[in-house]
Amino acid sequence: MQIVTEPRQMQIIAEKLRLNRQLVGVVMTMGALHEGHLSLVKLAQESAGTVILTIFVNPRQFGVNEDLHRYPRPFEQDVALARSAGVDYLFAPEPETIYPENYQTTVQCGLLAERFEGAQRPGHFNGVATVVTKLFHITKPHVAIFGEKDAQQLAIIKKVVNDLNLDINIVGAPIVRENNGVAVSSRNIYLTSQEHLDASVLYRGILHAEKRIAEGQRDLFNIAEEIRAMISSTPGFRADYVEFVDEESFEPRKTAEAGREYRLLLAAWAGTVRLIDNGRIQV
């Protein structure tokens, strides 16, 4: 595995890979690699001959009161994990090379970026879209894998790629869950052991939605209310949003129609830690 830190050097390598007719896959991360990231690498290896993994804690997607400085950066451990996963190139730039002095350009997302996570974290998705677009231009992939855990991020990246005519195949990878259903996330390390156990309430909420739909309930607003109550009755937990959106448009939906697919989006506070999860709901 070759470690690259300079954007220009990465571009030259990526260009050569393309000239040599290599199919290039990219997995973008902020490091602190876990099982979830490794499942993205595996999917990239199944879709492409050469895999580039990027590690960059992107300051532009953190709000002023967010955890940029305490975000975990176990670089040596990440290098070892990436190497044993068979990554070909690890691109790990310094912030100054991605955002040099007098950097000014931002990818401005539309309405979708203002809802759900965007309402809670203003500017977050513009920061994500900007860095992802830059990393696309630096790594020149044919295919890019993003986790379905961040379903809204995935929908926004697909929109950016479509709106800006980027010739990249975006693939969503299924959520990796712990035994009790808790979605694997870098932020789980901030949970106490009790919160970690109780965090399964989000997954239980998804299972509850599947059950209610199977029973014939079509009032999505009502199901969401029931899930909100499940979260609020968990000590130390507070629901932020629980909403169903159309799987295609990501528009909020209150009533289910037969034959359609929805995505249930959930966000909750476990003490001071914010958790998100989601599930595809087939009616």
Looking at beta carbons only, is 131 or 231 nearer to ligand PAF? 131
- By the rule CB under 6 A, 30 interacts with ligand PAF: yes
The DSSP result for 241-278, as a single string, is: EEEEEETTT--B-SB--TT-EEEEEEEEEETTEEEEEE
For 159, the token pair is 């929109």
Shortest separation between residue 101's beta carbon and ligand PAF, angstroms: 21
Residue 37 bears catalytic tag:
yes
Identify the three-state secondary structure at position 2: strand
Q: Tokens in use for 92?
A: 């790990």
Consecutive H or E run containing 155: helix 151-163
Residue 29 makes contact with ligand PAF by CB under 6 A: yes
Q: Is 101 exposed, middle or buried (0-12, 13-18, 19+ CB in 10 A)?
A: exposed
Q: Does 28 bind ligand PAF (CB under 6 A)?
A: yes
Contacts of 283 (CB under 8 A, 6+ apart): 213, 218, 256, 257, 258, 259, 260, 261, 262
The distance of closest approach from Cβ of residue 24 to ligand PAF in the complex, given in angstroms and rounded to an integer, is 17
Q: Which is it for strands 89-91 and 2-4: parallel, antiparallel or unpaired?
A: parallel
Give least dist CB 107 to ligand PAF, A: 12
Does 109 contact ligand PAF by CB under 6 A?
A: no
Beta carbon of residue 27, minimum distance to ligand PAF (angstroms, whole number): 9
**x/- letters, 56..95, toward ligand PAF (CB under 6 A):** --x--x----------------------------------
139: contact with ligand PAF by CB under 6 A: no
Q: Which residues are catalytic?
A: 37
- The footprint of ligand PAF (CB under 6 A) covers 28-30, 58, 61, 128, 131-132, 150, 153
